[in-house]
Amino acid sequence: MSGGVDSSVAAALLKKTGYDVSGVFMREWVPKGMECSEPKNRQMAARAASHLGIPFAVWDFRAVYETNVASYLIREYAAGRTPNPDIMCNKDIKFGVFLDAARRAGAHYISTGHYVRLQATPTLLVGAPTKSVGAGHYIRREPEFQISNFKFLKIENYKLKIALDINKDQSYFLWTLTQRQLQHCIFPIGGYTKLHVRQLAKKFGLPNWDRKDSQGVCFVGELNFGKFLRAQLPVREGVVVATDGTAVGTHDGTEFYTIGQRIGIKNYESGIMGKREPVYVADKNLETNTLVVASDDSPELFKSECAVFDVSWISGEQPKLPLQCLGRIRYRQPLQSCRIEAQNYADSMEDSAEFFSAKVRVTSASIRVRFAQPQRAVTPGQSAVFYSKAGEVLGGGIIE
């Protein structure tokens, strides 16, 4: 429980359904010198748990976050890439050490306030549909259960699907999840709109029903990211050039800029190609510490393909490539038609240190993604996430 309305409603729905629910607040990692929003978040989470009459605990994974996520962010930015902290937090913290700790504490499942749906496919000894609870919004699952003398086998396959509320869908951040993790997850609010969740929170009498949504970083909260980076990485003044190579100003270091980002240029006098207009980062060279900028509609800002590495498939099964599907390269981007092709696929799977057995995590070193339409600001370090036409999350990887 983060103190926000989504996780509080998730807890309320689970309790109403009959689950034995405990609330857990994870302490927030705060960089030195930064303001901390944890006390008010923890207090609100405790109030919500008290209102629901459920046990409440505070767990501390800050050291793991600093090692696995914060340090990773700094390394990636120093290498000229733009990582996504929320994806790494989900992978290593919420569905990593937190899930493991919850299981050790005796929990069968963990539940979060993510807007995403989980579909479970059971294998049956005697035919009958999956037992569902609560208007079809989520499934109450037991490892084995008996209904009217029908013995069910364990559910063998889990599909992660886009949330009902497209504007709040968070499936983009969950492409690293595995079958092993999903079998212990419940996402109660994936079948609701945000408006409905607010209405439920008010109906349940939750103290945070009208609390403003957080725009902060996962596990960190509100954070001035530019200030954080500048405290970690040295300022290196470099040259800004237009796409024709003309020097147009200076910058503080390529590490601080992202492909597609609108920027202000220090000592910007002549403009781009004689015009003073908003400019965007089209490319950057870490070795020469040079930024290339272009106007908003410049062809240099668009690419039709990209390489993607550290690819993970949620099903745990290697898909047959080439694969025609849908994809997105940033949060909330409308799904784009694309084709995934092998790029030394078989060899990379044999050699990859990231390769795990089926049903746990299947990954390849690199694939190539070709989009039907050119994409603006394809950013190294960000995630490309792939979907079926039915809205199932197939998997994803890191843009190279």
Which pTM was predicted?
0.86
List Cα–Cα distances, 216 to 43, 114, 301, 318, in angstroms. Answer: 18, 15, 27, 35
- pLDDT > 70 fraction of the chain, expressed in percent and rounded: 80
Report which listed range, 24-33, 147-156, 250-259, is most confident: 250-259
The Cα 265–Cα 281 span in angstroms is: 11
**pLDDT band at 131, cuts 50/70/90?**
very low
- Residue intervals of the chain classified under CATH 2.40.30.10 are 302-399
Closest Cα partner for 5 from 266, 198, 234?
198
Comparison of pLDDT for 327 and 218, the residue scoring more: 327
* Paired residues of 111 in beta bridges: 186
Where are the CATH 3.40.50.620 domain residues in the chain? Answer: 5-204
Please report the pLDDT score of residue 214 as a whole number: 72
Q: What is the CATH number of domain 5-204?
A: 3.40.50.620
**pLDDT for 337-382, tens place per residue?**
999 999 864 444 443 333 333 333 445 558 999 999 999 999 999 9
Active-site residue identified among 218, 306, 325, 338:
218
Query: If you average pLDDT over residues 118-139, what whole number do you get?
Result: 52
Residue of 358, 349, 352, 345 lying closest to 316 (CA atoms): 358
Please give the sequence-ordered ranges of beta strands (E in DSSP) within the chain, or none if there are none: 23-26, 56-59, 110-111, 116-124, 146-147, 150-162, 185-186, 238-242, 247-251, 262-263, 279-285, 290-294, 302-313, 323-328, 336-342, 362-376, 383-387, 393-399
What is the DSSP code string of 219-251?
TTBS--HHHHHHHHS----EEEEETTS-EEEEE
Residue 189 pLDDT grade (very low, low, confident, very high; cuts 50, 70, 90): very high
What percent of the chain lies above the pLDDT cut of 90?
71
Decide which of 48 and 129 is more confident: 48
Q: What is the pLDDT of residue 112?
A: 97
pLDDT score of 17: 95
User: Residue 218: pLDDT above 90?
Assistant: no
Q: Is 306 a catalytic residue?
A: no
Instruction: Note the pLDDT tens digit of each residue in 202-212.
Output: 999 999 999 98
pLDDT attached to residue 318: 80
Report the length, in residues, of the chain.
Answer: 400
The answer to whether 36 is a known catalytic residue is no
* pLDDT tens per residue across span 85-111: 999 999 999 999 999 999 999 999 999
123 pLDDT higher than 80: no
| Of 89, 185, 306, 325, catalytic | 89
- Indicate whether 215 pLDDT > 90: no
Give yes or no for a cis peptide into 234 (omega within 30° of 0).
no
- Give the mean pLDDT of 275-297: 92
Given this structure, which CATH class describes domain 234-297? mainly beta
- Banded model confidence at residue 129, pLDDT cuts 50, 70, 90: very low
C-beta neighbour count of 86 within 10 angstroms: 21
302-399 CATH pick, 3.40.50.10860, 2.40.70.10, 2.40.30.10, 2.40.30.200:
2.40.30.10
Residues of the chain with CATH 2.30.30.280: 234-297
237/366 Cα distance (integer angstroms):
33
Average pLDDT, rounded, for the chain:
86
